[in-house]
Chains A and B, each alone.
Chain A
Amino acid sequence: MSARIVAPVLMGIFMLALWEGLVRAMEIPTYILPGPILVAKTLVSDWGTLWPALVVTLSITLQALLAAVLVGVLLALLFSLSRWIELSLFPYAIILQVTPIVAIAPLIIAWVDDVNVSLLICAWLVAFFPILSNTVLGLRSVDRNLLDLFELYGSSRWRTLVDLRLPAALPYFLGGLRISGGLALIGAVVAEFVAGSGGRESGLAYRILESGYQLKIPRMFAALVLISAAGIAIYLLLSLVSHLLLRRWHESALKEE
């Protein structure tokens, strides 16, 4: 095993041991800071509550990510087709991006009846911009000479899009997708926090709030661990997708030779 794996794993074990040791040595009450062993136990014992919550949060995240991909790529294509559309819409896309989601989430939740839909909108708002801006950049980063070549052979706009612009934009899109995957999860969690009441289906953020009210701090930590794990899993999965799609040709996916 390489040092790339061993070093962080050893560091992780060391930190967890330190944490557990300090909690025990200083006799910190569990409602202030539970040790990692208790958190792990809670994760197992409260699985029945936490797992459905994870499923709810993940499903909102994935739906939001899917919507972000659809809208982001479609808008990017429109922008690449028409300078006017880009000039008139892009500033608003930036405004949406820079407005803190915590600030507009209450409005969205107030306007939209269905809580799930409002959560979805919030998560989508956070997630779509990296995909949009990266894909726009990618569609524009096409080799000029290749464009000339396509023109030389009388390629239609559609063919040039499918055979040249889209493949050229793929690495950029995938870069945006990896960022958006994490953002969609953050968006979903933040929106759940703002929405507060979970209704019949409650996500992990609601479980964290609830555990906080009830001083079930170990469960709060367990939920936190799950959110982090979900974020890491999404990142790794999207990295894998990216690697599989690019490994034959793109610099970013090449091993050092």
Chain B
Amino acid sequence: MPLVRLRDVSRVFANGVQALGGASLDIEAGEFLSVLGPSGCGKSTLLRLIAGLAEPSAGTIEWPQGRPDLGFVFQEPTLMPWTTALANVALPLKLRGLARSEREARAAEALAGVGLKGFEKSYPRELSGGMKMRVSIARALVTSPKLLLMDEPFAALDEITRRRLNTDLLELWQRTHFTAVFVTHSVFESVFLSQRIVVMSARPGRVRSELAIPAPYPRSEAFGTSADYAALCRLTSAQLSEAMAA
């Protein structure tokens, strides 16, 4: 029984642009899934629909196991600049009405979980791009969601920071067992991170093909330089080209 089942989901914007043209997809509980596709293929829209931030124009989204708690990580860190890292991470708990002491304790724990112990009192502007993204991930995880939706979260970061965050994200995922849906336009990133990759076609987006990435976890830097990895990247890349040509 999948966690969420999408059937022929499409979405037409108010200006008439069709972002999604009938996407069908099952997401299994606990998996790490990447959604790969060219820009403008409706990947972000797909994520927003799953999050309930928008309604599908047609098709259905079902939650066979009930709608779980979910976390969302945007392309930008999307932090409130006027308050501290701790208060930013505690926000979801505040909106759910938890008492101050409890939400701050849990937020501090979540910050420590992304390697930012000691930065509780820092304001976003005092943090680097990578650290801001870590705060954003801590905020998404602070409610211990069953499903974590990520919309090209590391696209704006430099290569070195991105690698660190990729490894750390995998480690978090293995430690906390959430279901991860990771939207990206990077073949290398999707192969490195996921168990399964869904390749989408250009707009109006639909699911073109699916690949399993059988490599075991934990995946380290060594995996990223292995021949297996290179072969999988080549395969994925070919699928992406096919999807874009179609």
Contacts and interface: CB of A to CB of B under 8 A. Distances in A.
- Residue of A146, A152, A163, A167 with most partner-chain B CB within 10 A: A152
Contacts of A111: none
Contact of A149 (B52, B72, B83, B123): B72
Contacts of B82: 167-168, 170, 248-250
Interface residues of A, number: 22
A159 B80 CA distance: 14
A168 to B, nearest CB: 8
Interface in B100-132: 123-125
Contacts of B78: 143, 145-146, 149
Contacts of A213: none
A154 interface: yes
A251 B81 CA distance: 10
A167 B53 contact: no
Q: How large is the interface on B (under 10, 10 to 19, 20 to 34, 35 or more residues)?
A: 20 to 34
A151 interface: yes
B181 to A, nearest CB: 14
Interface stretch (B28-36, B90-98, B192-200, B230-238): B90-98
Contact of B80 (A153, A155, A167, A254): A167
A159 B81 contact: no
B4 to A, nearest CB: 16
Contacts of A148: 48, 51, 53, 72, 74
Contact of A254 (B91, B124, B125): B125
Interface in A116-163: 143, 145-146, 148-155, 159, 163
B146 to A, nearest CB: 14
Interface centre among B70, B83, B95 (most CB of A within 10 A): B95
A146 B80 contact: yes
A155 B95 contact: yes
Interface in B69-88: 70, 72, 74, 76, 78, 80-83
A152 B53 contact: yes
B77 to A, nearest CB: 9
Interface in A207-257: 248-251, 254
A170 B81 CA distance: 12
A168 B197 CA distance: 38
Given A148-B48, A149-B74, A155-B95, 14 more contacts: A146-B78, A148-B74, A149-B91, A151-B53, A152-B70, A153-B91, A153-B95, A163-B91, A163-B95, A167-B82, A167-B83, A249-B81, A249-B123, A250-B82
26 contacts: A145-B74, A145-B78, A148-B48, A148-B53, A148-B72, A149-B78, A149-B91, A151-B53, A152-B52, A152-B70, A153-B95, A155-B95, A159-B95, A163-B91, A163-B95, A167-B80, A168-B82, A170-B82, A248-B123, A249-B81, A249-B82, A249-B83, A249-B123, A249-B124, A249-B125, A250-B82
